[in-house]
Amino acid sequence: MVQHSTGPLAGLLVADFSRILAGPYATMLLADLGAQVIKVESPGGDDTRTWMPPTRDGVSTYYLGINRNKRSVALDLKKPDDLAAAQELARRADVLIENFRPGGLARFGLDYDTVTATNDKIVYASISGFGTGAGRDFPGYDLMVQAISGLMSLTGDPDGSPYRAGISVFDVMAGLHASIGILAALHHRGESGRGQHVEVNLLSSALSGLVNHSSGYVAGGTVPFRMGNAHPSLFPYEPLPTADGELIVIAGNDGQFRKLCQVLDLPGLPDDTRFGRNQDRTANREQLRPLLVERLAKRTKDEWFRDLLAAGVPCAPINTIDGGVALAEELGLDPVVTVGDVPGVRNPITFSDTPARYELPPPGLDEHGEEIRAWLTN
């Protein structure tokens, strides 16, 4: 099986034994950048093939969104011939990525120690929910991690119930962290000639991704709590009402606040000792908010958006997804790529010399099985 793709990772073979979201998202990013990814599925297929609605031509758009540029082979690891094919793929691969429960591949001879006995240059990446220690048997679902990590305690109205984020945010973070780890290990291999085991778990990705909140606790002893759309350290940094709806208004520093006040025709506020510095605005937000809201109520959100942005004040309408895609198109970001007849969201990284490639639509189950099995037996 010969690969003719381009991209900064062209020539790398990735054996993808992952499923659901974190692993497939990571391998799609690698595939977009030129790696040849072979998606190994059970005979029943990746679970996300059945996660619907929505669908496109009867296929789950969840699955379509994270599996382009891959080839699919269905292997039943309990069958000797299929297991031999999987082991041969691991022997040939530059990268193997898996998200079985820790130790789950050992019974098939596909664990790190066994694979490295015949392929000591492999970069072997494992994604788990809670690591390989006391949490090894915990199922790795994003919603569990949103709850356990503290994210849900930060999401929602102050007097309401905790809420999950609108996406599986820690699956995505773990996929990104896995990709970074794989690329770092490949660089190390280029210097040393040795592969290594890269391990990522959702809870560690979550605590890293909670950034200022987790730092506020571990460095400052402060346990944060949900504040609705408010920010604990900045004001304004939230939706504020206008004449016809809410507009996100941000003053990330004192200079931006001064510009905001100029556009709102509130020139005295930056010199008011209650509001001149960010820490003062944050402490006195309940006094400042009604002054801003009174002025914002005089015009529509689109009018304010245009004028505030022109003055260098960060602000934004609260769009639905279609509005976000439309704005990206308007700004020339080309957010949508079509591979075969399947539209998808473009890879977010732009390269000056080695652009992302879009060659293969998300594969049907075992679509390339015959080709891959023949290649593995040669």
Catalytic residues: 171
CA-to-CA separations, 76 to 41, 43, 44, 73, 290, in angstroms, rounded: 8, 6, 9, 10, 64
Strand partners, 59: 56
Per the CB < 8 A criterion, the answer to whether 15 and 89 are in contact is: yes
Helix, strand, coil in percent for the chain, rounding step 5: 40, 15, 45
For residue 127, give every residue at least 6 positions away whose Cβ sits within 8 Å of its Cβ, in sequence order, or none.
18, 22, 23, 26, 97, 98, 99, 140, 174, 175, 178, 200, 201, 202
At residue 29, the 3 state secondary structure works out as helix
d(C-alpha 3, C-alpha 355), whole Å: 17
d(C-alpha 132, C-alpha 200), whole Å: 10
Joined together, the tokens standing for residue 199 give 């391990």
